């Protein structure tokens, strides 16, 4: 049985998050051919194609979608195992996540972390940006991973992630106006999607709105319109080409000042950075 090398899993995870082998190569500090070779080696090891490649980038296949949470867990556990011989962490830490980020494997990584530190209590609060802001302002959460615009405090760490156009095969991408499936106001990467269409003089109409990722994905599966999602949330066979290029979106970590000397908050922040 072939081993799943962590270097190969890291290449796969980075490419899935970045939505592009080229962007993954930049993030990893490798050449694009080297990352492509690592991905092909991983695909040979599992015996299945993991990423669907196109001119727009890469999206997960069904097999890739299945492997993704395992890759996240293996890499997170490997990093945590290096620190396991140290003093066990204790205390309480609340983490605020917008739903489209919470769906991408972070809760499982945090659950694994909690199992390695039984004296620590973690609480995950998910919801739209205003709900995360309210939990942060009230002190219920000490760290928030969200669109930095959701919070007044400047982020201490940020990363840019691409958005991918998705639609059911029954949707006419040349429709005028183009039917859209959007996250309800505010947030949910709604603004960059609309700005890209307006900049291209592409008429659009709102066909469906939802406050939840599950609602948006269900509407896409039902063929109600086109949506823009983070690559890790794109369902196999739904990525589409031929629409205006989408800009990347910023994700950031904001942390309460009173946790600066808290080793538990330090460790949780490390998990958020690795898995985001």
| Residue 201: per-residue pLDDT | 95
The answer to whether the 89-161+251-275 and 164-247 domains have the same CATH topology is: yes
CA 272/CA 105 separation, integer angstroms: 10
Measure CA of the first residue to CA of the last residue in the chain; give whole Å. 30
For 174, residues 6+ apart whose C-beta sits below 8 A from its C-beta are: none
CA 46/CA 3 separation, integer angstroms: 9
CATH of domain 6-81: 1.10.10.10
Q: Which two tokens stand for residue 73?
A: 């867990």
| Residue 226: per-residue pLDDT | 96
The full DSSP string for the chain is -----HHHHHHHHHHHHHTSHHHHHHHHTS-HHHHHHHHHHHHHHHTS--EEEETTEEEE-HHHHHHHHHHHHHHHHHHHHHHTTSPPP-EEEEEEEEHHHHTTTHHHHHHHHHHH-TTEEEEEEEESHHHHHHHHHTTS-SEEEE-GGGSSSPPSEEEEE--EEE--TTS-TT-SSEEEEEEPSS-TTHHHHHHHHHHTT--EEEEEEESSHHHHHHHHHTT--BEEE-GGGPPTT-B--SSPPPPPEEEEEEE-GGGTT-HHHHHHHHHHHHH-
Those residues of the chain that have pLDDT short of 50 are none
| Residue 96: per-residue pLDDT | 92
CB 12 within 8 A of CB 64: yes
Distances in whole angstroms, Cα of residue 175 to Cα of each of 178, 211, 212: 5, 25, 25
CB 132 within 8 A of CB 96: yes
Sign, CA torsion 83/124/150/216: positive
| Residue 213: per-residue pLDDT | 85
| Residue 1: per-residue pLDDT | 54
CA 117/CA 115 separation, integer angstroms: 5
Residue ranges of domains in the chain: 6-81, 89-161+251-275, 164-247
Q: Which two tokens stand for residue 163?
A: 């958005």
Q: Which residues pair with 124 in a beta bridge?
A: 95
| Residue 128: per-residue pLDDT | 81
| Residue 193: per-residue pLDDT | 85
Q: Which CATH architecture has domain 164-247?
A: 3-Layer(aba) Sandwich (3.40)
Distances in whole angstroms, Cα of residue 68 to Cα of each of 16, 75, 95, 146, 244: 8, 11, 22, 21, 28
pLDDT, tens digit, 9 for 90 and up, residues 12-46: 888 888 888 888 887 778 888 888 888 999 898 88
| Residue 16: per-residue pLDDT | 85
| Residue 170: per-residue pLDDT | 95
Domain 89-161+251-275, what fold?
D-Maltodextrin-Binding Protein; domain 2 (3.40.190)
């Amino acid at each position: 049985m072939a081993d799943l090398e962590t270097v190969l899993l890291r290449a796969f995870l980075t490419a899935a998050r970045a939505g592009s082998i080229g962007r993954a190569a930049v993030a990893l500090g490798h050449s694009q051919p080297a990352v492509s070779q690592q991905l092909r080696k991983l695909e040979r090891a599992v015996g299945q194609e993991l990423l669907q490649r196109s001119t727009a980038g890469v999206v997960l296949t069904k097999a890739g979608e299945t492997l993704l949470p395992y890759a996240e867990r293996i890499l997170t556990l490997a990093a945590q195992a290096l620190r396991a011989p140290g003093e066990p962490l204790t205390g309480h830490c609340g983490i605020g996540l917008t739903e489209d980020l919470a769906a991408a494997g972070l809760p499982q990584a945090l659950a694994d972390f909690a199992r390695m530190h039984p004296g620590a209590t973690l609480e995950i609060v998910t919801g739209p940006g205003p709900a995360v802001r309210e939990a942060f302002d009230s002190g219920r959460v000490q760290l928030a991973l969200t669109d930095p615009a959701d919070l007044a405090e400047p982020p201490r760490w940020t990363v840019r992630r691409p958005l991918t156009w998705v639609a059911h095969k029954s949707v006419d991408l040349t429709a005028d106006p183009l039917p859209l499936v959007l996250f309800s106001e505010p947030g949910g990467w709604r603004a960059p999607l609309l700005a890209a269409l307006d900049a291209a003089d592409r008429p659009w109409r709102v066909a469906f709105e939802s406050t939840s990722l599950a609602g948006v994905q269900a509407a896409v599966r039902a063929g109600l319109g086109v949506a823009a999602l983070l690559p890790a949330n794109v369902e196999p066979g739904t990525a589409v080409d031929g629409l205006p290029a989408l800009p990347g979106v910023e994700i950031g970590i904001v942390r309460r000042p009173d946790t600066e000397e808290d080793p538990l908050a330090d460790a949780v922040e490390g998990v958020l950075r690795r898995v985001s």
